[in-house]
Chains A and B, each alone.
Chain A
Amino acid sequence: MAQQSLAGSRIRERRVMAGMRQAELARRVGISGSYLNLIEHNRRRIGGKLMVDIANALEVEPSLLSEGAEAALLSALREAAAVATQAMPEIERADEFAGRFPGWASLIAQLHSRQRSLEHTVATLTDRLTHDPHLATSMHEMLSIITAIRSMAGILADTKEIEPEWRNRFHRNLNEESLRLADGAQKLVAYLDAAGEGDTGMVLPIEEVEALVAAHGFQFDHLAEMSAAQLRDFIAAQSLLTTEDARAMAFVVLDRLRQDARLLPFDTVQRHLTDGPVDPVALANACAAPFGAVLRRLATLSDVLLPRPLGLVMCDGAGSMMLRKSVDGFGIPRFAGADPTWPLFQALSRPTQPLHQTITVTERGALHFECYAVAEVVGEVQINVTPLYHSFMLIVPQD
């Protein structure tokens, strides 16, 4: 139903809100009650002077009656309806709803906005809690101490005959571990107290690296001809990187990106992206380039070559995210919520094997993404030593 055709619903709503009887409003604007009734049920179109008179009588702006709810409100309502899991809102009647019940519609839109904001906050905090290296180390250490205490206490409680030497040993160990636990708990509380006073201490190396690559728009071709020492100088000069961990992680990421730039020049990638659909397999075969380099190069150059850039995500052998280049509609949590069936993770168990999977995201309607992944060796080749791997996934949004 068109916006204008719902003017009657909005008049009715405003009249009711004003506590005015239909006959009273009709009298004030000089029309019959039955005619106003037809207008209020959207069976007569109105405009011009009558609309202005009714707006004046209701003490509202005429545009509020004629134009109805803002597009943003309708958009918010449709978005809220799209993510509803149990209720079945009549999406096709959103504009009618907004017109007839603007207050309720605004409330739903506000609640939906608030929900999304809180979800984002929760995701961010979860990410931080999970990836704060200090917190992770502290929790791991405390769980290990608790495990040792539980195990030793269990031995002392359940073993009927235990040699005095062993019993004394476990008692001594229990005492030591309980002291460690107390000390660890105190330090953890102090750390959390300090973290709550400001967020500067909670910035993680990966966040700094992501901020750096985002600030450069993922474009690092100018680094291609640099030596490793020059690259380190470049990284040392970046004010966004405040810790050694962040600088070390940035070196790993940028070193890889500049090597990619050497393997796959800008013009080559540009020809591929302008010739047809994104096809990393074809590009890899045409250029005899490593599949991982192709994925990274397509993702980074898509920002300057495609109207809708491609996404990229990188993780280490334990599945921890190391770099995220997001794409609309495809959430890439740093940790919690990542889907273990993504080819990004599957690639870790099939190193060097390119994988492809179509992923459908249903959070806001069905969005389809072609995802390509591969796990590559990290570091130098060593005889009889199984290498470590990093995995990369290119995310190509489909129309």
Chain B
Amino acid sequence: MGRSVLVIEDEPNIIEAISFILSRDGWSVATHSNGHDAFGVVQDTMPDLVILDVMLPGKTGYDILREIRGAEGTQALPVLMLTAKGQVKDREIAERAGASRFMTKPFSNAEVLDAVRELVAG
């Protein structure tokens, strides 16, 4: 089994594009599109990295990130946050919540791929 990524995002075509790019790069990709039970999926799948959108139905990405950082098994899990808001305050909130990296939409495929490789290489 190769390295694994869990993509938590509610836009199906973004999920599909990211999945395609990462799969081609040798990653095993799982996806989820609901914020409400996202943390449970993280615990069940225990990926090497989570790509997490901020605006999700049910619960915000920040809240899910706090859950990830608050649990013993997922405390150190690399999390790449995706958001449409790129203001300094949004970055601050993401960093305080424990984001490993913060990426503003629209991003390029290369940016996502580079970030994923760097975060897992660590």
Name A residues whose Cβ lies closer than 8 Å to a Cβ of B: 139-140, 143-148, 150-152, 154-155, 158-159, 166, 169-170, 173, 176-177, 317-319, 335-336, 338, 340, 345-346, 348-349, 386, 388
Contact = CB atoms under 8 A, between A and B. Distances in A.
Contact of B66 (A147, A151, A386): A386
B26 interface: no
B92 A173 contact: no
| Chain A contact residues, majority secondary structure | helix
Contacts of B76: none
Q: How large is the interface on B (under 10, 10 to 19, 20 to 34, 35 or more residues)?
A: 35 or more
B13 A177 contact: yes
A386 B89 contact: no
A151 B21 contact: yes
B93 interface: yes
Contact of A139 (B17, B84, B93): B84
B67 A146 contact: no
Contacts of A150: 106-108
Given A155-B109, A318-B62, A148 B93 contact: no
Given A147-B107, A348-B96, A319 B89 contact: yes
- The CB with the most chain A CB atoms within 10 A, among B17, B54, B97, is that of B17
Interface in B80-122: 84, 87-90, 92-93, 96-98, 105-110, 112
A348 B65 CA distance: 12
Which of B39, B55, B107, B112 neighbours the largest number of chain A CB atoms within 10 Å of its CB?
B55
Interface string B8-44: 0001011011101100100000000000000100000
B106 A318 contact: no
B93 A345 contact: yes
B11 A148 contact: yes
B57 interface: no
Contacts, number: 91
B17 A155 contact: yes
A349 B96 contact: yes
Contacts of A158: 109
A317 B63 contact: yes
Nearest to B89: A340
23 contacts: A139-B84, A144-B84, A145-B11, A148-B13, A150-B106, A150-B107, A151-B18, A151-B108, A151-B109, A152-B17, A173-B13, A317-B60, A317-B62, A317-B63, A318-B62, A318-B93, A319-B89, A319-B90, A340-B88, A345-B93, A349-B97, A386-B66, A388-B59
B84 A166 contact: no
B24 A154 contact: no
Given A148-B13, A151-B14, A386 B107 contact: no
Q: Which of B24, B70, B84 gathers most chain A CB within 10 Å?
A: B84
Contacts of A338: 89
A194 B92 CA distance: 34
Nearest to A142: B84
Contacts of B105: 143-144, 146-147
A154 B14 contact: no
Contact of A318 (B14, B60, B112): B60
Given A147-B11, A340-B88, A349-B97, 7 more contacts: A150-B108, A151-B108, A152-B13, A152-B16, A159-B24, A346-B96, A386-B67
Given A151-B17, A151-B18, A155-B20, A146 B106 contact: yes
Contacts of B55: 140
Interface string B46-72: 000000001100011011001100100
